[in-house]
Chains A and B, each alone.
Chain A
Amino acid sequence: MNASLPLADRKAGDASNSLVHVAAEQKRHSGLVRLTHWLTTVAFFALLVSGGEIVLSHPRFYWGETGNVNERPWLNLHLPSSRDTVPTGYGYVLPDQNGWSRYLHFQAAWLAFATGLLYVLWGIFEGHFRRNVFPDSSALSLKELGGSMVRHLRFERPGKEEAWSYNVLQRLSYLLVIFVLFPLMIWTGLAMSLGFNAAFPLAVRLLGGQQTARSLHFIVTGLLALFVLIHVVMVFLAGFRSRMRAMITGRADSPRE
């Protein structure tokens, strides 16, 4: 695979054409990638905010099937709560925001699910994953991985070819998010639902219980939030204007530059 192929260009296979020429014609991100990227962004922040609000009504986490204030949590966030039944040690109770938070959480979850489904199906059939996300086997050698890691740790700005393609660490982290963390989020979320668990009891049994599902949902939230944080930092390091332009208009280079 030619690492300098534009991400959205499947027909330029023979184009060892000069990058400059390709840059003028081709897009870095296809329309579907841009659309699903921003829909996912909206859904993610809606889920994060509403999920945080819901956690405040019981900021304690348990393993197994059951957990409540009469049981010992493995994790107590020591945050003020929106319920006076939770012993927090704070002398006050936050206002109850669970009504709209739960409505918004599930609506945003549907948006994230539909967007993810569209992206994954398109990515498989159109070849986006094979071309742009799965790393080359040559890039998976220890030497290559180590080199990429060192460049990241030195905060080196990406080379020109990375304006067109994802580097190996990027590819691995996107793979983790798309095929591991995102599906885990949906699975652990559904495994908290009494109605869903009635229809598909194996989903929660395989996880080890309803409260375990809730704990894992919280942990994976942390991992996804960490990914988003690093993702945004990397966008700034790589050049905020050019990367934002690429994800909004699809073009990597502005004619003005």
Chain B
Amino acid sequence: MSEISRRKLITTGIAVAAGASGIAAGAKIAQRYGLIPPDSRGLYGPGETLTYAAQRLLGRSAKAREFPASQISANPFANEVDPLGDDFKRLQAANFVDWRIAVDGMATRPTSFSLAEIRSFPVSSQMTMIGCEEGWTYIAEWSGVPLSYILDRVGALPQVRYVIYRSIQKDWWESIDMADAMHPQTIIAHRMNGVDLPVPFGGPLRLRVPRQLGYKNVKYITRLTLTDNLKSFGKGLGSAAPEGGYAWYAGI
């Protein structure tokens, strides 16, 4: 082995060792500042982590784009949902008067709100785009109570890091971090384009998180759970999406 290639080998070795320890230290810091998504393990973990960390570092509190009323889609497309069960149909027949949304987990006052109560809370409106992971989009006006208002009202503990939300449809549950949960545009929507949120679009209650794709905007929500750790829910990947092969973070 020549001198030059030996020197090269040693330099490369040192560089690799430095790089590896740099990545390990970076991972620790990233974990502390909440830059690692719950589905960060596995083949596609590096890409997911880079995307999530980059968006959290560059635009943690950035607002989703808002549009003028003239740009609201005349024919919004309500994506299909799995058949709605008997529970839903019974509630729908009574015009949803008995619809409730429970809030549990790390809160000083866990409780359950009726639809009427949710509708009586302060209303925030937004004209924003909803985008599907398939590639299509539409713009609508959404109105509802900010999720941050609900979290304040139930006394969310300071160590809460994620909010889990569930649909009346079995096996449909998602979660978001506090950057999205406390974001002013994240609302529990009960109106769309000036009318009560229609059933095909998620009525009576849909979680609207406009910086993320459609599949994070869960329809027919009935329960919120506040937690500091997603490991003990489902398969520990954060939500139903990664269990079905889709990314937990859907800001892209």
Contacts and interface: CB of A to CB of B under 8 A. Distances in A.
B64 A110 contact: no
A197 B65 contact: yes
Given A85-B79, A194-B64, A197-B65, A107 B47 contact: yes
B46 A198 contact: no
A232 B147 CA distance: 54
B124 interface: no
Given A65-B71, A67-B136, A110 B77 contact: no
A104 interface: yes
Contact of A98 (B59, B129, B134): B134
A110 B51 contact: yes
B212 A195 contact: yes
Interface stretch (B13-21, B230-238, B240-248): B240-248
Contacts of A85: 77, 79-80
A68 interface: yes
Contacts of B211: 194-195, 198
Interface string B50-94: 110001001100111101000101011101100000000000000
Contact of B131 (A55, A71, A194, A201): A194
Nearest to B214: A194
Nearest to B55: A195
Interface residues of B, number: 42
B44 A107 contact: yes
B30 to A, nearest CB: 15
Given A65-B71, A69-B136, A194-B131, A201 B55 contact: no
Interface string A36-72: 0000000000000000001101100000011111110
Interface in B131-148: 131-139
Interface in A94-129: 98-100, 102-104, 106-110
A3 B213 CA distance: 52
A76 interface: no
Contact of B75 (A70, A103, A201): A70
A110 B50 contact: yes
Among A58, A68, A204, which residue has the most Cβ atoms of chain B within 10 A? A68
Contacts of A106: 44, 47-48, 51, 247, 252
Contact of B134 (A57, A204, A210): A57
A107 B37 CA distance: 14
Contacts of B34: none
B210 to A, nearest CB: 7
A20 interface: no
A214 B212 contact: no
A94 to B, nearest CB: 12
Contacts of B48: 103, 106-107
A83 interface: yes
Nearest to B251: A195
Interface string A61-91: 0000111111100000000000111000000
B129 A210 contact: yes
Given A65-B67, A66-B129, A54 B135 contact: yes
A83 B77 CA distance: 14
Given A70-B76, A107-B44, 4 more contacts: A103-B247, A106-B47, A195-B55, A211-B137
20 contacts: A54-B134, A58-B135, A65-B137, A66-B71, A68-B136, A70-B73, A98-B246, A99-B245, A99-B246, A100-B245, A103-B245, A103-B247, A104-B44, A106-B44, A106-B48, A193-B251, A194-B212, A198-B65, A199-B55, A199-B58
Q: Which 8 A-B pairs have the closest CB atoms?
A: A195-B251, A107-B47, A199-B59, A99-B245, A103-B44, A70-B75, A68-B136, A68-B77
